[in-house]
């Protein structure tokens, strides 16, 4: 199985140091960067492409899961599905069949 990790955000800081850290993240871990146009998702662009990996970095995933309970629950659901060889669709967000059906994000 191949993995292409991407970090997606609708608003990026123009700070040079921040952009340098994103470049370092990409170089160190192969994480790609996507600039998502909130007003027009079809205009999203890949700023830095991800490096395809054949294995996940479990040590980093474990560390992130300790810090983020939502990620921890997501990983538990994935593990259960993997071990049971059955995907429980109710545990995940749906994927729209029609790209036009993707809801628009509205800032408050």
Q: How is the chain split into domains, by residue range?
A: 1-54, 56-93
pLDDT at 72: 92
Give the largest CA-CA distance in the chain: 46
- pLDDT, tens digit (0-9, with 9 covering 90-100), for 64-106: 889 999 889 988 888 888 898 888 777 776 666 665 655 554 4
Asked if residue 5 lies in contact with residue 48, where contact means CB atoms within 8 angstroms, the answer is no
What gap in Å lies between CA 66 and CA 95, rounded to an integer? 27
Q: Which residue has the higher pLDDT, 17 or 2?
A: 17
Q: By three-state DSSP, how is residue 3 classified? A: strand
Asked if residue 68 lies in contact with residue 61, where contact means CB atoms within 8 angstroms, the answer is no
Q: Please determine, for residue 108, whether its predicted confidence score (pLDDT) is greater than 60.
A: no
- What is the model's pTM? 0.49
């Amino acid at each position: 199985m191949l993995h292409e990790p991407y970090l997606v955000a609708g608003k990026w800081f123009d700070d040079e140091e921040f952009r340098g850290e994103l470049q370092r993240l990409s170089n160190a871990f192969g994480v790609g960067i996507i600039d998502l146009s909130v007003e027009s998702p079809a205009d999203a662009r890949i700023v830095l492409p991800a490096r395809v990996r054949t294995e996940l970095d479990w040590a980093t995933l474990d560390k992130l899961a300790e810090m983020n309970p939502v990620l921890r629950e997501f990983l538990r659901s994935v593990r259960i599905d993997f071990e049971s060889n059955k995907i429980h669709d109710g545990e995940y967000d749906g994927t729209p069949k029609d790209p036009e059906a993707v809801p628009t994000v509205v800032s408050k």
